[in-house]
């Protein structure tokens, strides 16, 4: 079985087609109790859609990490309380959905800037792993966060979960070489096991780079993933 996809051959670890459905959850933060019946109805419809259609819902969350940068009054403890409370609300929205059909994308915002005050992943990885999702997507290909693969030498990915690190990025127009993509993938498979890793992109490309550059990066991702798969399964 490949990361919860029983129809996938492990020799083609990264050569899989993933259909992601983007769904916006609208929550009334001030009066959550009033949305109970609406949430139950929505959950039933979405659950049937995900299970019967073999689809995925991806929750994109750039705000939890960004609040650290945008709220200078927070110290680490108060920030983590905020982040944990946000995840509680998210898990409330996801309640009843099959976790293996949910993906959680955590990023530091795709805006072009220095990102000098990004909160390190080590401070929020435990909070991220609380999300009731089967897979977690993180930035791992840009100059601010690429080194954070070392984190997984000490942090244990829960059983049955998948990490989807970015191996190409929106943060530069340069097209990543397939050899670099393969190297980035193997950093994670060496630490987490190939069955627990899927190659991805740091964040969305839209409005950040030209579409032709985006397609070129995805082509490089596919070529690099093929190289990594060949090397991993020949060991």
Query: What CATH code is carried by the domain that includes residue 104?
Result: 3.20.20.210
Q: How many domains does the chain have?
A: 1
Is 12 a domain residue?
Answer: no
In a domain, 125, yes or no: yes
What dihedral angle (degrees, nearest 10) is formed by the CA atoms of 198, 207, 131, 138? 40
Asked if 194 and 13 count as a contact pair (C-beta separation under 8 A), the reply is yes
Average pLDDT over residues 188-203: 96
Least confident of 3-7, 11-15, 38-42: 11-15
- 118 DSSP 8-state letter: P
Domain span holding position 79: 17-24+35-233
10 part of a folded domain:
no
**Are the beta carbons of 164 and 137 closer than 8 angstroms?**
yes
pLDDT 10s digits, 116-144: 889 999 999 999 999 999 999 999 999 99
Helix, strand, coil percentages in the chain from 3-state DSSP, rounded to 5: 45, 15, 40
For the record, the structure tokens of 233 come out as 């399964």
Has residue 223 got a pLDDT over 70? yes
Locus of tokens 């709220």:
71
d(CA 168, CA 164): 12
Give the pLDDT band (50/70/90) at residue 233.
confident
């Amino acid at each position: 079985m490949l990361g919860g996809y029983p129809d996938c051959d492990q020799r083609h670890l990264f050569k899989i087609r993933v259909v992601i459905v983007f769904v916006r959850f609208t929550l009334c933060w001030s009066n959550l109790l009033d949305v109970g019946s609406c949430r139950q109805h929505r959950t039933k419809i979405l659950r049937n859609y995900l299970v019967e259609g073999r689809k995925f819902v991806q929750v994109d969350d750039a705000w939890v990490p960004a609040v650290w940068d945008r709220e200078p009054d927070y110290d680490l403890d108060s920030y983590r309380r905020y982040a944990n409370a946000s995840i509680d609300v998210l898990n409330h929205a996801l309640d009843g959905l099959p976790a293996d059909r949910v993906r959680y994308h955590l990023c530091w915002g795709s805006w072009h800037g220095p990102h000098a005050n990004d909160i390190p992943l080590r401070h929020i990885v435990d909070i991220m792993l609380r999300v009731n999702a089967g897979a977690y997507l993180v930035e791992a290909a840009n100059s601010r966060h690429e080194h954070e693969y070392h984190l997984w030498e000490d942090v244990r990915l829960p059983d049955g979960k998948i990490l989807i690190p970015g191996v190409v990025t929106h943060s530069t127009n340069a097209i990543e070489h397939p050899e670099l993509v393969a190297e980035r993938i193997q950093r994670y498979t060496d630490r987490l096991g190939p069955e627990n890793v899927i190659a991805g992109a740091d964040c969305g490309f839209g409005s950040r780079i030209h579409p032709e550059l985006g397609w070129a990066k995805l082509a490089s991702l596919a070529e690099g993933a093929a190289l990594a798969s060949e090397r991993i399964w020949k060991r």
